[in-house]
């Protein structure tokens, strides 16, 4: 991977001739432009895919763009072992909206979180260095907060069941307290109980007892009037959850 400025510095030719050379290499499929001024060299083994894996370049790309980030939601869940279904896109959390990137068979999608600096992340090694990934606890919270991007609530529950062995109950409560609304934390506890991960929810339940109680619909974009909330979480089950086996 390299920038156009690096190419101009390394090649003793005019900017116009360097630009033409870059265009020829793109036409031949030897390099691909990710964003204006940022290019990838395509190894021969990835020529049919159109680009190397996103994990190879996500960290230098985000540094080039000057944006904080972490690998998030279903992509992070898969990296933590919850890979019931391989995500169809590479999901990244950042602070400002960015256009999706399509490179050959890969699609990179960006989500925004104004509280990104409060999220717990961890470095994960890649063949070209490392990338920042949400911790299992941050991933669990994000799955509930961004449930549409996670395939809606039944898929969220399925992924949470697989993610549960990697979760720490106290850390989960701390992350929920920083990143989630009370309603989102209630949904998270409800779904974890639903998939049988009840050992993880005791600290979360204790913390929620001290928050302002109010019924929270399980699916916030659907009506729930006339339905009774469950006793432990105050969640109104306005959608049936089906766990995939």
Average pLDDT over residues 56-61: 96
Report d(CA 131, CA 76) in Å as an integer: 11
Looking at per-residue pLDDT, the higher value among 105 and 188 belongs to 188
Report which secondary-structure segment, H or E, holds 91.
Answer: strand 90-94
Q: Is 164 helix (H, G, I), strand (E, B) or coil?
A: helix
Q: What is the pLDDT of residues 133-192, one digit of tens each?
A: 999 999 999 999 999 999 999 999 999 999 999 999 999 999 999 999 999 999 999 999
Name the residue ranges covered by the structural domains of the chain. Answer: 1-47, 53-236
pLDDT at 21: 76
Average pLDDT over residues 57-77: 97
pLDDT at 83: 78
Cα 74 from chain centre: 6
Burial 206-220 (b: 16+ CB within 10 A, else e): ebbeeeeeeebbbbe
pLDDT at 102: 95
Q: How is residue 141 written in tokens?
A: 């919270």
Half-sphere exposure of 221 (CA within 13 A, CB side): 6
User: CA of 114: how far to CAs of 24, 63, 67, 119, 133, in Å?
Assistant: 40, 18, 12, 10, 17
Confidence band for 245, pLDDT divided at 50, 70 and 90? confident
Confidence band for 10, pLDDT divided at 50, 70 and 90? low
């Amino acid at each position: 991977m390299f920038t156009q400025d690096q190419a101009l510095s390394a090649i003793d030719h005019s900017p116009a001739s360097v630009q033409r050379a870059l265009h020829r290499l793109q036409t031949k499929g030897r390099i691909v432009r990710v964003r204006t001024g940022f290019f990838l060299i395509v190894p021969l083994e990835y020529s049919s895919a159109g680009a190397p894996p996103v994990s190879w370049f996500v960290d230098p790309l985000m540094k080039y763009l000057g944006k904080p980030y972490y690998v998030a939601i279903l992509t992070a869940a898969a990296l933590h072992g919850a890979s019931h279904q391989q995500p169809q896109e590479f999901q990244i959390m950042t602070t400002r909206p960015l256009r999706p990137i399509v490179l050959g068979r890969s699609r990179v999608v960006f989500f925004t979180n104004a509280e990104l600096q409060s999220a717990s992340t961890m470095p994960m090694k890649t063949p070209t260095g490392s990338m920042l990934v949400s911790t299992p606890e941050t991933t669990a919270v994000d799955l509930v907060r961004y449930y549409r991007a996670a395939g809606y609530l039944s898929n969220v529950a399925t992924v949470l069941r697989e993610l549960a062995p990697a979760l720490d109950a106290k850390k989960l409560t701390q992350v929920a307290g920083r990143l989630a609304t009370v309603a989102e934390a209630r949904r998270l506890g409800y779904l974890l109980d639903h998939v049988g991960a009840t050992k993880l929810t005791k600290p979360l339940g204790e913390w929620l007892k001290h928050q302002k109680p109010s019924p929270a619909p399980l699916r916030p974009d659907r009506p729930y009037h006339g339905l009774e909330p469950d006793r432990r979480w105050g969640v109104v089950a306005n959608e049936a959850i089906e766990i995939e086996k």
